Structure 1
């Protein structure tokens, strides 16, 4: 895909009067555990938990990379929960049901450059415990994802918490630790 094909890249975005492109998005915090996927604690210890992340790359500056959770835009008429399930499958091959998602556990509004344009994305995050360790694949990636994402892999939480690499959202390691250790308490956090 040609990164300059802005009509294709931004087909699901809306441009505000201020020139910023925006969309609503749903993301998953997929965590491999040894317990049952209840979202209420138990199972693998927090240090051994593994979080599924993708490595993004700035198509304008390939030296600028970061890690982020699976997810993407919410289609017209689609619920945030359904979008999270769809995006997780498209980006990783993992199949989960709507009832497997816990939350939403967090929300955030993020501003960032994307394919050379200023963007704002309002995101809702769901926690999804994955029993055992599951193989993932990139066969469902779109042309846009193939141009802007270079890797998909499981991160051990202890490694994620100690990395010098950029991770979005920055609060992710602590949020995962709490979810794995204590479960979700029903509070939807606003994170940056």
Structure 2
């Protein structure tokens, strides 16, 4: 099969691009990274997290073109079934798909109130009331998974689709100083130390400080 291409937008701001990139790397897909024009309306929609289904990230792999992040996740799992993107145990695999789907389709208030920005750090940040239930729900998901599967990742010893889907949330919690219990803070630190996350973060920090003016309503 011909070498793949993965079109992404900003590494600093784009949570969906991060998810797609992580999943392709986890699957061992050999892809050329292409950065989309960051001045288009489509890029603004993706960066502002108005939709998880705009055409970035977009994976082109031979005759296959996939642009929805959850579809990329499933394609990666099918392409590399031994990569551990999904757990081998059937109930755990269903659970992993469920929490990944919840991230894909939900948590709009959290995305709007706490946009991803890897360069920013706030010592304190008041989270508006509409986003607090999203934060608590994510804490509950993480706690349930870590307790049920023993950590250090959400479904055991190695990262899965779920960790890729929630990795941008870890960065948001760090950026906006969200208070976490020790076990969840340790989980976030494990994600930050994940070599793929380290690589992505280095790329984000190398981007120009202002790529696009973001206007988020809180």
TM-score under structure 1 normalisation?
A: 0.29
Greater helix fraction, Structure 1 or Structure 2? 2
Greater strand fraction, Structure 1 or Structure 2? 1
